[in-house]
Structure formats: structure tokens, C-alpha cells
Amino acid sequence: MRVLRTIMMGTGTFAEPTFRALLTRPDLVQVVALFTQPERATGEVSGSTRQTGEGMATIAQAAGVPIEQPPSINTPDAIARLTQFQPDLYVVAAYGQILSREVLAVPALGGINVHASLLPKYRGAAPVAWAILRGETQTGVSIIRMSVGLDAGDVLRAEALDIGPDETAGELEARLAVLGARLTLQTVEALCRGPVVGVAQDQTQVTKAPKLTKQMGQIDWSQPAEALCRHVRAMQPWPTAYTHWHRLDTAPLRVIIAKARPTEPPADLLASQPVPGTIALNQGQRLVVACGQHQAVEIHELQPAGKRRMSAAEFVRGRLPQQGDHFA
């Protein structure tokens, strides 16, 4: 069975399990180089949802794999460097750059991409967050043959995974990363044995998962409870779901909402037909907030600006809600 000279391309924790898996299978691949994004401060790149883990470069250094970090993979210099490694295959996971036709033409077998959705659903940079936002109960990983179109190649392998009812995007991505590593090894093993035929994506079923922005984290309290709680889960770990606590004679306080669940609205809150965002009074150490369609959510964990993450009970003890207090 042929051993494939392979270049790994990826950044962040979603890519790390796949990279480690490749390194454990010298009978299938010789990892000749790692191409990863230049070092940047966390969150510096607009729309980045990448979580930071051990680090792709750290893994490569420990394994003695050469590291390349071109700002753009599509420049003549980067293409020349790729060519010098004489790869048979690229394995790409959350690399963060779109590969040009010229880059894809370097390896004889082209590239495969590990994508965190069941394609053709959720093509783009943030498939995990959008799956949660849209209320999906399942997502998965697709291994596709790379093409010049965004996540448009033939599907070589795919497997579904249930989304937990309280799972954040970060937690779900971590599970998908492990699944992606397993499917990658299965795909690479098949490629070592000979040609692999994929399945063309149904173009009528394509949905998009564009980059998130910081502004998307702002909570819209007019949403119904289920949608609002999905938003809180989808915005973690970045950009996080946030709102502002408005109090009489006090400047608004920015608050990150970390955990929230739908709850039955208190009778007095329903009777007053409150504006969404109104905070229910006399709830003890619970923090219950009115939202759209005459529903309510209970905040369980939050983080006031400049403070640590805390339980709602801790927050309420320090800032007992008063008449007129609201989130907006």
C-alpha cells in the first residue's frame, strides 16, 4: 500500500486531532510539512471562532515536522515552497485561507478538507455556530475533495452527530474535531489503496455559514425563548452573547450571558405584558427575563464587564433587581 507524502494545513483546536491522527499513521502518510496561520493574538482576526489549544506549531515541533506560516498561501513564493515538499496530498482542517486553483494543482491527489457540517448544509467559516442558531438537532463532519468553490467538492465520507440540548458551539466543535480525525484517517487509507469516488453535493440544498462578527453577539430580547438560548450557545466561545443591564441613575453595564434556558414566565411578569428584556422582580436568587412571544428565559451564568464569570445567584446578591431594571 502506497504511503502518501502529505502536507497538513490547519489552525486551532478543530485541526489538532486530525494532525495528531496523521502523525500516528506512518504506514499511511508521511507528513512532510505543516502549513498554518501566522501567530496572532486570540480574536485578532475579524470573524475568527478558532479556539486555542496546544497549538499546531507545537505539535509539529514535537514531531519534527517543518512549519510554514505564509500570510497568503496563494502567492508565488508560497506555491514554490509547497512544490518543494513534493506532496501527494493536502489534508486541510480549519486553515482559514481559500486555496487557489494553482495551489490545489500542486499535489497529484489534490486535497481533502475536513468540514464540520453535513454538506451541502452550512458551507463557510462558522458551520457549528450556524447549525445551533438554526435549531438543528444533528450536524456532523464531511470529508470532501477540495475544489475552487467554497466547500463545494464531492463528499468522500460523512457521519452525523447529535447536538446536545445545552451544548455550546465550542463544546460541539470539540466533539466534531475528534470525529473529523477518525473520518480523515479512513479517507486517507482509502486513497492509499487507489482512487476514491465521491458523491456530488446537491446544489439545491446548499446553505451558508458565513463568518461571525462581534456585533452578532448582541442579544435580541424580542426573540422567543428557544431561539434566544440557542443564540447564547452559538456565540461561544466567540464572539459571546452580550447585553446591557440598564438601571436607574446608573450607567448601563455590559454583561456577557454564558448560560440561559427557557423558563415559565412568572405570573406577575405575564400580567404586566412587559417589554422584552424586562427583569422579573421577587424571584429570590433567580434571574428571569422577559423575551419575545410573552415568554421568558432564566439566566444561569453571566459575566459582568471587568468581572469573572459567575452564577446568576451571585450576580443577584450583589445587584438586587429593582423596578425598571432591564436588559437591552
- Of 289, 281, 245, the C-alpha closest to 263 is 289
**Domain 214-327, CATH:** 3.10.25.10
Cis-peptide, bond into residue 237, ω within 30° of zero: yes
Pair type for strands 295-304 and 29-35: unpaired
3-state secondary structure of 100: coil
Cβ atoms of 143 and 184 within 8 Å: the answer is yes
Can 4-205 and 214-327 be said to share one CATH topology?
no
Cell reading at 218: 448582541
Q: Where are the domains of the chain?
A: 4-205, 214-327
- What is the CATH topology of the domain spanning 4-205? Rossmann fold (3.40.50)
Provide the CB-side half-sphere exposure for 3 (13 A, CA). Answer: 9
- Of 140, 216, 137, 206, the C-alpha closest to 175 is 140
Mind listing the pLDDT tens digit of every residue in the chain (328 residues)? 889 999 999 999 999 999 999 999 999 999 999 999 997 644 444 444 455 678 999 999 999 999 999 999 999 999 999 999 999 999 999 999 999 999 999 999 999 999 999 999 999 999 999 999 999 999 999 999 999 989 999 999 999 999 999 999 999 999 999 999 999 999 999 999 999 999 999 999 999 999 999 999 999 999 999 999 999 999 999 999 999 999 988 899 999 999 999 999 998 888 888 999 999 999 999 999 999 999 999 999 999 999 999 999 999 998 889 999 999 9
Write the DSSP symbol of residue 136: -
